C-alpha cells in the first residue's frame, strides 16, 4: 500500500483527504462531492472501494493498462525508421507534419517526440539565456507596417547555385511574400516591391535595416545641395513617389518579426526544398510560391485586432513601370542628344519642344531593359545613336633598313648621294665658269 501511495498524483491525494473527512463524519457526502466536483453517489462508491481495498481503491481501474487508443507498435517502428532515414534533422513538429502529409502516418508532435527521445534520434536542447528586449505589440491593421529584409543562406544545401531570399512580412497578420533571387540588388528588390504592390496595394510604411539599398551613407553631392534635396537611393525615391513611409531599424532586434521569420524559413523551407528536390532558382521559386507560402498562410498567419485593411489602391498617377526604374537626370546637348551609361541617344524631331536644349530630363531605365526620357511630364521619342567605327588602317610596307650615318672618311650618309665624293668633285667656280670665279681679276672699266 505504501508503494501505491507514492505513485498517487496530487489530485489523488487531495481526493483521498476529502474522502477520509467524509468517512470520519466531518463532512457530509453531498459537501464532499461538491468539493471534489463529483456526485454524492460517486462519493459513496469510492468510500465502499476504500473499505474493501484501502486507499488504493480510489485509483483509476485502467491505470497501468495499455490504452485502447494506443498506436500500434508496428506504426511506431515505421515512424521512427522514416525519421531516422529521411527527416533526421527535422524537429518533432515539422516531422509529424511531413509524416502525415507524405507518409500517411498521423501522430501528434508530443507522441513523436517521446518516440524519438526513447530511440535516441532526438535529444533535449538546452534553452539559451538571451538578452531580454522590450516587446513591441503588433500593429492593429493589415498593411499598417510591413517588414522587409533579405536572407543570405545556403537554401539549396549545395545542390545548386547560391540564392538570396527577399521577404516581406506584415506586422499585424504575419502574411508573407517572398522570392528567391540570384543577387541582392536594387533591381531585384524593386521587382519584389512591384509584386507586393500589384497583389495588395500600397502599405502605410516599410520597416527595413539601414543598408545601402535603402539609405545613402554619404553626404549630399553638389547638385543635391543646390536643389535643397536629401540624398536618396533608387528604392527610397520609389517609396517617396508611391507615398509610402520608410522606417530604418537601428538593430536586428527592432525588426524581430522578419528576423524570427527567417529563423523559421531556414529550418522549414530548407527541408521542404530538400524533400521537393529543388536544384535551381526556378524550381525553388515554384516550391516557394506553389506550396510553402500556402502552408504558411494556413499555419502561421493570425487575425489582426482590427479587420480594416490599411493598404491603399494604386492610382492612375502611380505608373509602376516608371516608378520602379533606375531614374537619373541628364542634360540635353545642343544637337538634342544625351548620354546615359556610355551610350548616346538622339531625341527625334517630333519630340523636340521649346526649352529642351540645355535642359535637364528624367531618364528611366525600366526593369525590362528599355529606356524612357521624360521632360515636363511628357515622354520623348528617342533613338540610339550607332557609333561609326573607323576602318582599320592599312599597314604600310616596311622600308629596307638604311646604312649607318656619315662615316669619318667623308662619304655621304644619304642613299641618293652614294658614289659621290665631295673631295674629288670640282670647285663651284670651275663649274660656273672661270670668268665668274672669285679668284679671277676683275676687268678694268674704261
CA distance 88 to 119: 12
- Cell match 527595413: residue? 208
- The reported pLDDT for the residue numbered 95 is 85
Long-range contacts of 246-251 (CB under 8 A, 24+ apart): 246/205, 246/206, 246/208, 246/214, 247/145, 247/205, 247/206, 247/207, 247/208, 248/208, 248/209, 248/210, 248/214, 248/215, 249/207, 249/208, 249/209, 249/210, 250/210
At 278 the three-state DSSP class reads coil
- The reported pLDDT for the residue numbered 191 is 96
- The CA-based diameter of the chain, rounded to the nearest angstrom, is 189
- The reported pLDDT for the residue numbered 13 is 81
Cβ pair 143, 173 in contact under 8 A? no
- The reported pLDDT for the residue numbered 400 is 65
Q: What is the pTM of this model?
A: 0.67
Edge-to-edge strand list for the sheet holding 163-170? 176-181, 163-170, 146-153, 205-208, 245-248
Cell of 216: 545613402
- The reported pLDDT for the residue numbered 56 is 79
- The reported pLDDT for the residue numbered 5 is 47
- The reported pLDDT for the residue numbered 198 is 95
CA distance 148 to 206: 7
Of 279, 50, 68, 59, which is closest to residue 157 (Cα–Cα)? Answer: 279
- The reported pLDDT for the residue numbered 54 is 83
Cβ pair 258, 149 in contact under 8 A? yes
Q: What is the pLDDT along the chain (446 residues), one digit of tens a residue?
A: 445 445 677 788 888 888 888 888 888 888 888 888 889 899 898 888 888 888 877 787 777 777 777 888 888 888 888 888 888 888 888 888 888 888 888 888 888 888 888 888 877 776 665 555 566 788 999 999 999 999 999 999 999 999 999 999 999 999 999 999 999 999 999 999 999 999 999 999 999 998 888 988 776 666 666 666 677 899 999 999 999 999 998 888 888 899 999 999 999 999 999 999 999 999 999 999 999 999 999 999 999 999 899 999 998 899 999 999 999 999 999 999 999 998 999 999 999 999 999 999 999 999 999 999 999 989 999 999 887 667 777 777 777 665 555 555 555 555 555 665 656 666 655 656 655 445 555 444 44
Amino acid at each position: 500500500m505504501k508503494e501505491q501511495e507514492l505513485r498517487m498524483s496530487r489530485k489523488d491525494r487531495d481526493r483521498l483527504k476529502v474522502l477520509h473527512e467524509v468517512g470520519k463524519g466531518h463532512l457530509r457526502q453531498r459537501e464532499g462531492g461538491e468539493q471534489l466536483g463529483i456526485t454524492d453517489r460517486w462519493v459513496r462508491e469510492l468510500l465502499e472501494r476504500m473499505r474493501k481495498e484501502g486507499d488504493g481503491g480510489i485509483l483509476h481501474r485502467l491505470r497501468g493498462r495499455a490504452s485502447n487508443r494506443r498506436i500500434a507498435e508496428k506504426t511506431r517502428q515505421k515512424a521512427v525508421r522514416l525519421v531516422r532515414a529521411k527527416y533526421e534533422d527535422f524537429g518533432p513538429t515539422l516531422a509529424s507534419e511531413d509524416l502525415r502529409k507524405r507518409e500517411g502516418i498521423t501522430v501528434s508532435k508530443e507522441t513523436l517526440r517521446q518516440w524519438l527521445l526513447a530511440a535516441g534520434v532526438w535529444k533535449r536542447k538546452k534553452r539559451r539565456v538571451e538578452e531580454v528586449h522590450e516587446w513591441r505589440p503588433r500593429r492593429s491593421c493589415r498593411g499598417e507596417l510591413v517588414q522587409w529584409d533579405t536572407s543570405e543562406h545556403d537554401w539549396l544545401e549545395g545542390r545548386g547555385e547560391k540564392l538570396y531570399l527577399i521577404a516581406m512580412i506584415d506586422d499585424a497578420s504575419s502574411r508573407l511574400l517572398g522570392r528567391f533571387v540570384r543577387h541582392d540588388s536594387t533591381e531585384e528588390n524593386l521587382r519584389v516591391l512591384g509584386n507586393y504592390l500589384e497583389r495588395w496595394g500600397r502599405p502605410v510604411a516599410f520597416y527595413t535595416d539601414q543598408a545601402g539599398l535603402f539609405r545613402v551613407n554619404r553626404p549630399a553631392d553638389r547638385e543635391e545641395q543646390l536643389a535643397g534635396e536629401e540624398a536618396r537611393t533608387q528604392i527610397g525615391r520609389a517609396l517617396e513617389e508611391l507615398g509610402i513611409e520608410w522606417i530604418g531599424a537601428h538593430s536586428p532586434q527592432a525588426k524581430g518579426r522578419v528576423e524570427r521569420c527567417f529563423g523559421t524559413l531556414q529550418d522549414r523551407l530548407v527541408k521542404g526544398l530538400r524533400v521537393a528536390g529543388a536544384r535551381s532558382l526556378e524550381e525553388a521559386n515554384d516550391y516557394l510560391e506553389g506550396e510553402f507560402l500556402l502552408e504558411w498562410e494556413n499555419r502561421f498567419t493570425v487575425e489582426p485586432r482590427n479587420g480594416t485593411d490599411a493598404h491603399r489602391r494604386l492610382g492612375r498617377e502611380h505608373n509602376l513601370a516608371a516608378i520602379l526604374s533606375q531614374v537619373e537626370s541628364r542634360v540635353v546637348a545642343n544637337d538634342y542628344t544625351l548620354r546615359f551609361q556610355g551610350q548616346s541617344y538622339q531625341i527625334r524631331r517630333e519630340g523636340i519642344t521649346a526649352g529642351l536644349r540645355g535642359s535637364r530630363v528624367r531618364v528611366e531605365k525600366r526593369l525590362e531593359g528599355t529606356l524612357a526620357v521624360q521632360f515636363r511630364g511628357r515622354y520623348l521619342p528617342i533613338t540610339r545613336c550607332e557609333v561609326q567605327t573607323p576602318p582599320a588602317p592599312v599597314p604600310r610596307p616596311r622600308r629596307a633598313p638604311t646604312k649607318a650615318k656619315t662615316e669619318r672618311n667623308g662619304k655621304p650618309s644619304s642613299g641618293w648621294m652614294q658614289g659621290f665624293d665631295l673631295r674629288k668633285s670640282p670647285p663651284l667656280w670651275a663649274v660656273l665658269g672661270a670668268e665668274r670665279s672669285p679668284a679671277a681679276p676683275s676687268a678694268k672699266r674704261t
